[in-house]
Structure 1
Amino acid sequence: MSKTDVPAETILPFEVTLHVRDNCLCLHVQRAARALARRFDDALRPVGLTSGQFSLLMSLNRPEPPKIGQVSSLLAMDRTTLTANLKPLERRGLLTVSVDPDDKRSRRLSLTDDGRRMLAAAYPYWQECQKKLASRVPGDEAARLLADLQALS
């Protein structure tokens, strides 16, 4: 038997494919996430941010600069990916990365004044997009959807 020959008993029937297509939570959450991200990317384009950049900057908008690990956890992003996403925003002068004064091994993330202005400019675009998307979900189901997604994440 060659590497390309698959025993017949290991081939899944097409009905299984259809079942997964129609019932897989992961597939449908990923599809919805990509569709929502495109809509928010379009909405935020006038201020020069993507939806991911907006979320990242918003995660830094707090009284005390968070550690990279805190932001990584909040955004469900590994530290390497987060660091890669920070670099363009840092180059644009929207945030700074500094050594944690209490733990020299840790880094803290802070919005710059330009970052705060960018976030303030972006927020009304986000708000309008959020409102439009929530209105597509009947009744108070948008709140239920949000609660369900929070439970899964």
Structure 2
Amino acid sequence: MRRLSQLYDATLAPCGLSSAQRSLLVHIERAGSPSMTELAHAMVLDRSALARNIKPLERDGFLVQRPDCDDGRSRRVELTSAGRAKLTEANRLWRKAQSQFEQVYGEERAAALRVALSEIYSDEFIEAFGQP
């Protein structure tokens, strides 16, 4: 996985995001305005690691944190217009990386790998593995 991350990071370099940062923006976009707890769960990160990963994106104006209207102790994360534009740029490069990966690794093998990784990522797999 580390090697793939390096290859994807190299392809994303022109937009200034890493694959992990792009992934954060993707999760936020999909969820709309997730709480930090929801986002940490989706990213399989503890909240302190999530906070460290969010800081540069917030500093660069790609996202904002706002107090939760229903729970003042909780914060929600939202993409800014600059964040949506950056994600659009990153997604173009991501698709290029995906295409290159499929060309080199093979479409069928790449599809099978995505299925396997999705299964490994699932809560069911973690439960079967004996982890909380």
| Shorter-chain TM band | 0.7 to 0.9
How does the TM-score come out when normalised to structure 1?
Answer: 0.74
Correspondence 1:48 to 2:23? no
Pairing of 1:1-153 with structure 2 (within 5 A) = 33-62=1-30, 64-153=32-121
Larger radius of gyration: 1
Q: Which deviates the most, 92-101 or 70-79?
A: 70-79
Q: Secondary structure at the match of 1:104?
A: coil
Q: Which deviates the most, 142-151 or 122-131?
A: 142-151
Q: Secondary structure at the match of 1:98?
A: strand
In the alignment, structure 1 segments of 5+ residues that lack a partner are 1-32
Shift of 1:125: 0.4
Distance, in Å, in 2 between the alignment partners of 1:45 and 1:138 is 24
Q: Secondary structure at the match of 1:146?
A: helix
Greater share of residues in helix: 2
Shift of 1:101: 0.4
Distance, in Å, in 2 between the alignment partners of 1:39 and 1:72 is 25
Distance, in Å, in 1 between the alignment partners of 2:63 and 2:118 is 27
Distance, in Å, in 2 between the alignment partners of 1:138 and 1:47 is 26
In the alignment, structure 2 segments of 5+ residues that lack a partner are 122-132
Query: How many pairs does the alignment contain?
Result: 121
Distance, in Å, in 2 between the alignment partners of 1:117 and 1:152 is 31
Q: Matched residues, percent identical?
A: 36
How does the TM-score come out when normalised to structure 2?
Answer: 0.85
